[in-house]
C-alpha cells in the first residue's frame, strides 16, 4: 500500500520507518526545509535508535517532499503534525487544519497527532469530503521505532465501519491487542493513559517529601509497592518530575477540555501542580549563595534522547540563575542555551554542587573520586539512580526521599 505522512517529527518519522520496513511505499511530507534536506541525505535530525539504519536500507521505498499535495495519491494520509499548547493550555490545531485544507480531493485520513477529545468529530464536519480515523500513538522517545514495530496495543477510532475494518486488517498483522472504537473514545484513551502515568509520577514525588521528613527510603517503598501487579513498578521513580513533549502538554489540554465542559479534574490538576512544585522542592535541598556554581549531570528530559522540550533541567537552571548562581551542564547528546561542558570532568571542576538530572548510564556509574575536582563534593541525586549512593565515601550525598542515606563526609569517616 501507499501511505502519505504529513509531519516528520518523532511520531511521523517513526511511523514512516515502520511502514517502510513493513514493505509499504511511503511519501514523507515535511514543510521545514532544513529538516527535509537532512532526511533526503539520510540524516535523522534527532537522536532515535534504529531510524538511520531503516532510512538507509529502505530509501527506495521513500519519497521526500515539502508538497502536501503529492500525498493525495496515497491509499491513506497520516497526519503527524504538531499540536502545540496555547497559553490557556488548549491545543493549537492549525497545522492539522492547514494540512487538510491542502487536499483538493477526498482522502482517507489517519490522525496520529495528539488531539483533544472531540477533535475528530469536529474535523469531520469541517472537512466532510474526507473519511477520518484516529490511531493515537503511544511511543516512548528513545524507543519510538521499537514501539511502532511492536506496540503494546493499537487503538483505532472511526465511525466509518469500512475504514475501521481496513485498518484492523493492516494493524492486525502486528499481533497485538486491537481496540476499535469511536473517535472520541480513542482520543480519550490517549489522554487518559498519559494523565495516569503523569499522576503516578506525581504520586510518588508527593510521598518522597514525606519520606524525607520521616526518614524513610522512597526507593524501597516504591519497590515494595511495585510488587503488587495492580500497581506495578514503572513510573514510580521519585525525582524531578516529568517533562518532555507529551505529559506537560497533555495534562494542560485535558484540564482545558474539562474547563470547557464546566468541570474540574482535581486529581489531574493536583498531579500537574505537584510536578511544578517538585522543582522547588529539589532547590530547597541546595544551600546556594550568589556566585556559586552548580553542575548539571544530564540535561535531556530522560536518557536515550536529546529532546529538551519541557526538560526539568531548564526550569531548574532558570531558578538558579535568578539567584545569580552559575550553572554548567553536561549531556552525552542534548544541548541547551546555557554554559555547557564537553566532559563530565569539565562540568564538575570547581563546582559547589552537582545534580544528577538525567540518569544516563555513564552518569549513574560515576565513581566517588570523579567528584574530587569540585570545590566541595556535594551531590544531589535528583533521580535516585547513583550506583554508589550507599557508599558515597567523601561525597556529601542526598537523594530525593532518601534522608536516611544523607551522608556528610565530616562524620562518615
Task: Name all contacts of 51-60 with Cβ < 8 Å and 24+ positions apart.
Answer: 51/13, 51/14, 51/17, 51/144, 51/145, 54/17, 54/20, 54/21, 54/145, 55/17, 55/20, 58/17, 58/20, 58/21
Report d(CA 200, CA 205) in Å as an integer: 9
* Residue at which a domain ends, from 133, 155, 181: 181
Judge if 162 and 236 occupy the same domain: no
The reply to whether 17 belongs to the active site is no
Q: Tell me the torsion sign for CA atoms 397, 401, 405, 406.
A: positive
Q: Tell me the torsion sign for CA atoms 55, 61, 62, 68.
A: negative
Judge if 243 and 158 occupy the same domain: no
Report d(CA 257, CA 356) in Å as an integer: 36
Judge if 172 and 224 occupy the same domain: no
Report d(CA 324, CA 318) in Å as an integer: 10
Cell of 181: 472504537
Q: Quick check: is 44 in a domain?
A: yes
- Give yes or no for a contact between 200 and 194, defined as CB atoms under 8 angstroms apart: no
Cell of 235: 513510573
> Between the CA of residue 335 and those of 105, 140, 332, 407, what are the distances in Å?
43, 20, 9, 32
Judge if 156 and 281 occupy the same domain: no
- Give yes or no for a contact between 91 and 116, defined as CB atoms under 8 angstroms apart: yes
- Residue 173 DSSP one-character state: G
Q: Quick check: is 202 in a domain?
A: no
Judge if 283 and 154 occupy the same domain: no
Q: Sheet of 293-297: strands edge to edge?
A: 326-330, 293-297, 353-356, 378-381, 396-398
Q: Quick check: is 56 in a domain?
A: yes
Judge if 341 and 401 occupy the same domain: yes
Q: Quick check: is 118 in a domain?
A: yes
Judge if 42 and 96 occupy the same domain: yes
Domain region containing 365: 216-413
411 Rama sector, left if φ>0, alpha if ψ -120 to 50, beta otherwise: alpha
What pTM did the predictor assign?
A: 0.92
User: Could you tell me how far CA 122 lies from the centroid of its own chain?
Assistant: 27
Backbone angles phi, psi at 249, to 5 degrees: -65, -40
| Catalytic residue selected from 17, 91, 180, 246 | 246
Judge if 68 and 16 occupy the same domain: yes
* Residue 165, SS3 per DSSP: helix
Cell of 19: 511502514
Closest C-alpha among 124, 130, 184 to residue 157: 184
Low pLDDT (below 50) residues in the chain: 407, 410-413
Q: Quick check: is 11 in a domain?
A: yes
Report d(CA 266, CA 119) in Å as an integer: 23
pLDDT per position as a tens digit, 206-260: 999 999 999 999 999 999 999 999 999 999 999 999 999 899 999 999 999 999 9
Cell of 321: 540563575
Report d(CA 79, CA 90) in Å as an integer: 19
Judge if 221 and 129 occupy the same domain: no
* Residue at which a domain ends, from 164, 181, 198: 181
R_g of the chain, CA atoms, integer Å: 23
- Residue 412 is predicted with a pLDDT of 43
Q: Quick check: is 190 in a domain?
A: no
Backbone angles phi, psi at 309, to 5 degrees: -65, 120
Match 556529601 to its residue by C-alpha cell: 396
Report d(CA 267, CA 305) in Å as an integer: 29
The CATH number linked to 380 is 3.40.50.720
Judge if 140 and 269 occupy the same domain: no
Report d(CA 138, CA 156) in Å as an integer: 12
Q: Quick check: is 171 in a domain?
A: yes
Report d(CA 372, CA 324) in Å as an integer: 24
Q: What dihedral do alpha carbons 74, 96, 11, 159 form, nearest 10°?
A: -70
Judge if 9 and 62 occupy the same domain: yes
Q: Quick check: is 271 in a domain?
A: yes
Q: Report the domain count for the chain.
A: 2
* Residue at which a domain ends, from 132, 160, 181: 181
- Residue 404 is predicted with a pLDDT of 55
Judge if 221 and 332 occupy the same domain: yes
Amino acid at each position: 500500500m501507499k501511505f502519505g505522512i504529513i509531519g516528520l517529527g518523532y511520531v511521523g518519522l517513526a511511523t514512516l520507518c515502520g511502514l517502510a520496513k513493513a514493505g509499504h511505499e511511503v511519501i514523507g511530507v515535511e514543510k521545514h526545509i532544513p529538516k527535509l534536506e537532512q532526511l533526503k541525505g539520510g540524516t535523522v535530525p534527532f537522536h532515535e535508535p534504529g531510524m538511520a539504519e531503516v532510512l538507509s536500507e529502505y530509501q527506495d521505498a521513500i519519497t521526500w517532499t515539502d508538497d502536501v499535495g503529492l500525498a493525495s495519491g496515497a491509499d491513506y494520509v497520516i497526519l503527524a503534525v504538531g499540536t502545540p499548547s496555547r497559553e490557556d493550555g488548549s491545543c493549537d490545531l492549525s497545522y492539522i487544519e492547514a494540512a487538510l485544507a491542502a487536499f483538493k480531493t477526498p482522502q482517507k485520513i489517519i490522525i496520529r497527532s495528539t488531539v483533544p477529545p472531540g477533535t475528530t468529530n469536529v474535523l469531520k464536519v469541517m472537512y466532510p469530503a474526507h473519511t477520518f480515523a484516529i490511531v493515537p500513538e503511544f511511543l516512548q522517545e528513545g524507543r519510538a521505532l521499537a514501539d511502532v514495530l511492536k506496540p503494546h496495543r493499537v487503538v483505532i477510532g472511526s465511525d466509518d465501519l469500512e475504514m475501521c475494518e481496513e485498518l484492523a486488517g493492516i494493524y492486525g498483522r502486528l499481533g497485538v491487542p486491537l481496540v476499535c472504537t469511536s473517535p472520541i473514545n480513542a482520543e480519550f484513551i490517549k489522554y487518559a493513559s498519559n494523565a495516569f502515568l503523569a499522576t503516578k509520577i506525581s504520586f510518588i514525588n508527593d510521598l518522597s517529601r514525606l519520606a524525607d521528613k520521616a526518614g524513610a527510603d522512597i526507593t524501597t517503598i516504591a519497590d515494595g509497592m511495585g510488587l503488587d501487579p495492580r500497581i506495578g513498578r514503572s513510573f514510580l521513580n521519585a525525582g524531578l518530575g516529568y517533562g518532555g513533549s507529551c505529559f506537560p502538554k497533555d495534562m494542560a489540554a485535558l484540564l482545558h477540555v474539562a474547563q470547557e465542559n464546566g468541570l474540574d479534574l482535581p486529581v489531574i490538576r493536583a498531579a500537574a501542580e505537584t510536578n511544578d512544585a517538585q522543582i522547588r522542592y529539589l532547590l530547597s535541598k541546595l544551600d546556594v549563595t550568589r556566585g556559586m556554581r552548580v553542575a548539571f549531570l544530564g540535561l535531556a528530559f530522560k536518557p536515550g534522547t536529546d529532546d529538551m522540550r519541557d526538560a526539568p533541567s531548564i526550569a531548574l537552571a532558570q531558578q538558579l540563575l535568578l539567584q545569580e548562581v552559575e550553572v554548567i551542564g553536561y549531556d552525552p547528546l542534548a544541548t541547551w542555551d546555557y554554559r555547557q561542558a564537553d566532559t563530565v570532568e569539565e562540568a564538575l571542576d570547581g563546582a559547589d554542587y552537582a545534580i544528577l538530572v538525567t540518569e544516563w548510564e555513564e552518569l549513574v556509574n560515576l565513581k566517588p573520586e570523579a567528584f574530587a575536582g569540585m570545590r566541595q563534593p556535594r551531590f544531589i541525586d535528583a533521580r535516585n539512580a547513583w550506583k554508589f549512593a550507599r557508599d558515597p565515601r567523601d561525597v556529601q550525598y542526598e537523594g530525593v526521599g532518601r534522608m536516611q542515606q544523607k551522608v556528610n563526609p565530616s562524620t562518615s569517616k
